[in-house]
Amino acid sequence: MPETKSNERRWVRSTICILVAILGTVYALWLRMSGLISTEAALFGFTCLFIFIAILVYVLPQLQELNLKELKLVLREIQDAEKRVYAGLDTVRQLTLLIADTLMMHSLNANRLTGPELSELYHEWQTHQLLKISRLIEATPQDQEHLMRFFPLYDSLDAAVARDQKDPEKEQAIKGALEKIQEQLKREIS
């Protein structure tokens, strides 16, 4: 139904435009024949004026709906969105490289780095990489806490392993730390 009204309005506007153009041209010819317009250029200019008015009558409703401020805003929003997309692509690229670097180092160093100094240095490097990744993904403090949830468990295991060989509670501490790690893994699996 609204489409029919729109078509009727368009038909009425078209008819008015054609009438304005024809009447304007006839009026310009009458002025030329009566001698009020003396040159062909003036006749042409007068006819173009009426044709221009006819076009304005046709497009006037569209001009009333044209809002350049909102159009400008939309273009700015599109440009801002484009910047965010390209920034996001750059972040994804950096994130992918960091994860690949971390996985590569892990696969290269699996069971190779022995000794407390190298293991501690490798652990520190991995922690640094994880913090970089969490910054890139704009992780909240809760997200960072979740990512680092195994660190205290493994720190307690490292502390238990580092105990003196003669410590009678060393085996119990290692067993307790391993049980906590197993419990956490089982909770996350189920």
Q: pLDDT at position 141, please?
A: 85
Measured CA distances, 183 to 60, 142, 143, 157, 186 (Å): 74, 21, 21, 14, 5
Mean pLDDT of 41-58: 84
- Picking from 46-60, 74-88, 104-118, 130-144, which range would have the lowest pLDDT averaged per residue? 104-118
What residue ranges do the domains of the chain occupy?
2-66, 71-189
> By the 8 A CB rule, do 50 and 28 touch?
yes
Whether the predicted pLDDT of 180 surpasses 80:
yes
pLDDT per position as a tens digit, 6-29: 677 777 878 888 888 888 888 888
Whether the predicted pLDDT of 60 surpasses 80:
no
Mean pLDDT of 74-98: 80
Nearest-angstrom CA–CA distance, 97 and 49: 65
Q: pLDDT at position 6, please?
A: 65
pLDDT per position as a tens digit, 137-146: 888 888 878 7
